[in-house]
Structures are given as structure tokens and as C-alpha cells.
Amino acid sequence: MQVMQVMQVTQVTQVTQVTLVTPGRRGGAFLWSSHFMTQSASAVPTHLAMIMDGNGRWAEQRGRPRWMGHVAGAHTVRRVVEYAARAGVDQLTLYAFSSDNWNRPVVEVSTLLELFDTHLRTQTAKLAAQGIRLQVIGRRDRLPLALRGAINAAEARTAAGRRMTLRVAIDYSSRAAILASLPAASAVRGGSAGETLLPPVDLLVRTGGERRLSDFLLWECAYAELAFLDVLWPDLRVGDLDALFADYAARERRFGAIPHQASA
Ligand code: FPP
């Protein structure tokens, strides 16, 4: 039987480990070491970040109010979380509400905030049972008090989860996070809770057909692989995720070096 394999290279201190694995799944079938080769992609992104775009258009296409698109989008969130945890993703970061989203109509903003509140309250037990740790990033001081309480409770209840970290960005601005991380800015502003830099992103996915980052994880995406999908977020299905992960597994990540540097 012929088994397709991709090369997985992981930097371990000064030695580079090269592993052959079946595409789309973590775990090495074969392993050797080289002092010379450069870091490349793992078959599964360690840190997957997603810009969940297209909810409003999904609703408008059906003649429904925009908020119904967000409700449908929440179902996709559940599908994606389940998929990522099963695939072996270590960290999943979702862009749920940018600091610029406050400029949307009041009804849409309040629906979104209520949706976050409801989902935090109804999904937390399931996340804890699945070993998924929830973290919320972004400013909290502008969120309703009840939502802040729900966030704190969900984070505390899932804190022991080791299988995957699910990070949800709410009232998040990457530029604000970068500024807050600078010692001088922190000293002046006293820092800002929730605005910290995160581990590097391996794969950044945006649905909805737009090709921009919209102030999401600008620093962390320095060497991220980018994938822009035309599918609207509520329409994203397991087949799309399979295709995304297969595409990612086939990419060569060089981090500024050249391929096969040893022989150069
Ligand atoms: C962007 O689509 C989407 C958002 C601003 C909200 C994302 C929120 C969810 C998916 C809801 C549930 C989330 C959680 C974490 C429970 P858009 O409204 O800008 O779409 P458009 O470009 O078609 O107008």
C-alpha cells in the first residue's frame, strides 16, 4: 500500500528533527535529526487562527436580519472547535469581535454580545469535559458586566484543560495589543488586561472572500501561512476544513531560509 507522506520539521533546541507523517494528522512514522535543515510545517497547524467573516452576507442572502447570520455562525464555531480538537490543533484563536465592530448598528452589537454570553454559559461544561481551555483576549472594560462575569467563570472552569486552548478575541485590536506589550507604553498606560502577544500563528484562515487581516494578530502572523476562502463562515463545513488542513500540510515553511540549506 502506498502511503502519501509529507515532511515535518520541528526545531528542537539546536537540533532539527525531521518527521515523515501522513498528511493532515500529527504523529511521526519516521524520525531523524539534522543540524542543517530549516524549520518547516508540521502536518497540523499548532496554532490555527480564524477570521470568521461572512455572517451578515449569509443572512442577507436569505432575506434575514444580519444577526441571524451570527446565530448561524455560532453553529460553525462549534463544528470548528470539535474538528480542531480532534485533528490535534494545540491552539485555536477565533476573531469574534474587533474593537472596530463597536461601530456597527446597536442591535447587531447587542445581539453579538448576547450570543457570546449565551454560548459561554451553555458551552463551558462541554469544553471542560473535552479538556479544552477557554481564554478570552481583548479589552474587557467596555463589555457588559454580566458578560465579563461569564468570561471569568468560563475561564476558571476550563483552566485545567490541556487538550487544546480555544482563544476567543472580543473587543480585540492587534495594534492595541502590540502597543500594550511595549514596556514604555505599558508603564504609561498601566498595561491593559487581556492585551498580550500570543504564540506565533501557523495558519491564518479568513472566510467570506475578503483578503485582509483587519487588525487581527498582526505580530503573531509574521510567518503564518495564509488561506482565504470564498465560503461564508456559516457555510463552512468539515470538507472545507479537510481541504484546508491538506493544503497546509503540503506547504513548505522556510522562515526566511532556503530549502535544503545543508546542500547549498
Ligand atoms: C464577521 O462577519 C463576523 C463577526 C463580526 C462576528 C463573529 C461571531 C460569530 C461567528 C458568532 C458566535 C461566536 C462565538 C465565539 C460564540 P460579518 O458580519 O462582518 O459578515 P459580512 O462581511 O458578511 O457582513
CATH of the domain at 205: 3.40.1180.10
Q: Whose CA is nearest to atom 12 of ligand 1?
A: 74
Average pLDDT over residues 144-155: 98
Strands 132-137 and 91-98, how do they pair? unpaired
In a domain, residue 88? The reply is yes
Task: Report how far apart the first and last C-alpha atoms of the chain are (Å, whole number).
Answer: 35
Question: What is the total residue count of the chain?
Answer: 264
Q: Based on the structure, what is the number of domains in the chain?
A: 1
pLDDT band at 182 (very low <50, low <70, confident <90, very high): confident
C-alpha cell at 66: 444580519
Q: Of 101, 215, 235, 247, which one is the catalytic site residue?
A: 101
Residue 93 and residue 198 in contact, taking contact as beta carbons nearer than 8 Å: yes
In a domain, residue 250? The reply is no
Query: Helix or strand or coil: residue 95?
Result: strand
Q: Whose CA is nearest to atom 1 of ligand 1?
A: 53
pLDDT tens for each residue of 103-145: 999 999 999 999 999 999 999 999 999 999 999 999 999 999 9
Percent of the chain predicted with pLDDT > 90: 73
101 flagged as catalytic: yes
In a domain, residue 63? The reply is yes
In a domain, residue 177? The reply is yes
Could you tell me the distance, in angstroms and rounded to a whole number, from the CA of residue 10 to the centre of ligand 1? 34
152 flagged as catalytic: no
Cα 75 from Cα 22, distance rounded (Å): 29
Ligand 1 and 52: CB distance under 6 A: yes
Alpha-helical (H) ranges within the chain are 55-61, 66-87, 106-129, 145-157, 174-181, 183-189, 238-249
In a domain, residue 113? The reply is yes
In a domain, residue 8? The reply is no
Atom of ligand 1 nearest to the CA of 94: 15
Cross-strand pairs, 98: 172
Mutate to test the pocket of ligand 1, among 50, 70, 93 (most ligand atoms within 8 A of CB): 70
Residue 158 has pLDDT above 80, yes or no: yes
Cross-strand pairs, 16: 11, 34
Strands 132-137 and 15-21, how do they pair? unpaired
Instruction: Give 63's contacts (C-beta < 8 A, 6+ positions apart).
Output: none
In a domain, residue 264? The reply is no
Residue 47 and residue 201 in contact, taking contact as beta carbons nearer than 8 Å: yes
Ligand 1 and 234: CB distance under 6 A: no
Residue 224 has pLDDT above 50, yes or no: yes
pLDDT tens for each residue of 29-52: 222 222 223 344 569 999 999 999
In a domain, residue 254? The reply is no
pLDDT band at 258 (very low <50, low <70, confident <90, very high): confident
Give me the domain span that covers residue 168. Answer: 46-237
Ligand 1 and 92: CB distance under 6 A: no
Distance set, CA 29 to CA 6, 24, 55, 84, 90 (Å): 11, 13, 40, 21, 20
Mutate to test the pocket of ligand 1, among 51, 52, 97 (most ligand atoms within 8 A of CB): 52
Ligand 1 and 57: CB distance under 6 A: yes
Ligand 1 and 53: CB distance under 6 A: yes
